[in-house]
Structure 1
């Protein structure tokens, strides 16, 4: 399935009008189903429907299931593939077969009950719910020079094939202390792009990702800090701004949080010790 779709647009400039071909980011639903239970009594249950850009669907599913605490290691998964019996849905149904020994806590799949801004829970309740899924505050010696962060937006942009055509798609990138990009994933949804990245790292046995940072092409919502904390990421940087609850959660996680990373500047909201060189105060 393509990441982009062709369209004819009417372009207006001043008083002039021309018809022109253009490309849009594809948005399609993905239903994730789980196969679970003992060998003699296998069951199937849909667990999530998300609007995503097709591609790396298996990584999206694995990242989602890991960050929600349903799976812990690659061997928890027997298989992960699109459902052929639902061919009329054109590859938009993915079934993940879990090992018979995996015990599912279904309450953990109620992902938006504590991440929605309208859920009515306080920030403390939100953070407590996430902390129950993590091993605690993030430790480790990962650090980078400010120049590495300054260079990330352009480095990531150069890898964004779908963004180059559409201008309407998000990216999540995994980088090391030298600024090398190890994984880049794109999706129309910010959380989907991050799930794809975490799913790819999960399948390669790179978790916890204590020796890496993640760069995001948009703003930092609390759910993105939640997923990064679950994956053990010590540094989260983004082109956009963080929310107040995202900063609060990052502080609890001892995660370095950098926002407005663009135009050779950025703001640090917590754990600045992971930025190596001295930065002059103005």
Structure 2
């Protein structure tokens, strides 16, 4: 459990039946702002620019920053990152040092992201379009239905902060053998995805074309977009997908699984990556 991710509060607890309220203690997930900045040299001059302020649960901030910059298309590749440092004098702030300049117009697209909606922080609807050419491997890798059904329970076993608070989303990366690579938690579902992708990148796992992204909530457009931007070919969600998420997934041949719980799931696109799939004409 990351340090600073939970906080203890006194509460009054009520029960049905007319009994008197009880004083108790409750552990809550922490929500705090994190400023993400980039530093680079342009024509020999050092430049530092703010990119985003996101409301997140503290923990794994460097991975969050790198994952955010890559999945939002601010940096073209993980090799652009030279290092990451915290700036305690600025409060909760992360500076990502780059080996190449960043177009300032790119930075204007990201100014604030609430914990519930990363896409809200983009300056215009045009900013939600993918700005990177991505070609996913056609029909591979493949995942067994029986293996997919076990994922939610296996991921939940690794959610230490969720067990303490009941208030966090989770994201996980898994291989084609259904092995769980990494699990990360955050009060914002998009932050959890950035953390898990960022962790892969800063630990040298640049090729994610054999990975599946799992999320503990719904499958919205932005999460599918982030997965595709990282060249991840498949995603499974406990909750429902949105229509726009399915449209984007089908456009890129991305495998999208929803309602993965209670021994069942639906496949909305990329059917060939699921073993024992049946032909579908939709």
**What TM bracket, shorter-length normalisation?**
0.7 to 0.9
Unaligned runs of 5+ in 1: none
Return the TM-score normalized by structure 2.
0.88
Task: Describe how 1:250-265 pairs up with structure 2 within 5 A.
Answer: 250-265=249-264
Q: 1:108 aligns with which of 106, 114, 117?
A: 106
Q: Cα gap change, 1:208/1:112 in structure 2, threshold over 3 Å: closer, same or farther?
A: farther
The answer to whether residue 269 in structure 2 is matched with residue 270 in structure 1 is yes
**Alpha carbons 1:207, 1:232 under 8 Å: kept:** no
Partner of 1:160: 159
238-247 or 76-85, larger mean C-alpha shift: 76-85
183-192 or 196-205, larger mean C-alpha shift: 196-205
SS at match of 1:37: strand
Q: How many aligned positions are there? A: 270
Partner of 1:96: 96
Partner of 1:240: 239
**Alpha carbons 1:139, 1:210 under 8 Å: kept:** no
**Alpha carbons 1:173, 1:197 under 8 Å: kept:** yes
Q: CA deviation at 1:105?
A: 2.3
CA distance in 2, matches of 1:246, 1:119: 20
Partner of 2:115: none
CA distance in 2, matches of 1:74, 1:277: 35
* Aligned alpha-carbon RMSD (Å): 2.6
Q: 1:30 aligns with which of 14, 31, 34?
A: 34
CA distance in 1, matches of 2:179, 2:39: 37
Q: 2:13 aligns with which of 11, 14, 17?
A: 11
Q: Deviation string for 1:233-278 (max 9, x for gaps)?
A: 1110010111110010011111110011000011111111111135
Return the TM-score normalized by structure 1.
0.88
CA distance in 2, matches of 1:103, 1:139: 33
Q: CA deviation at 1:180?
A: 1.1
Q: Cα gap change, 1:96/1:218 in structure 2, threshold over 3 Å: closer, same or farther?
A: same
Task: Describe how 1:1-282 pairs up with structure 2 within 5 A.
Answer: 1-14=3-16, 15-16=18-19, 17-38=21-42, 40-86=44-90, 89=91, 92-99=92-99, 102-109=100-107, 110-111=109-110, 115-116=119-120, 121=125, 129-130=129-130, 132-139=131-138, 141-277=140-276
SS at match of 1:36: strand
Q: Cα gap change, 1:273/1:112 in structure 2, threshold over 3 Å: closer, same or farther?
A: farther
**Alpha carbons 1:171, 1:187 under 8 Å: kept:** yes
SS at match of 1:209: coil
229-238 or 10-19, larger mean C-alpha shift: 10-19
Q: Cα gap change, 1:150/1:167 in structure 2, threshold over 3 Å: closer, same or farther?
A: same
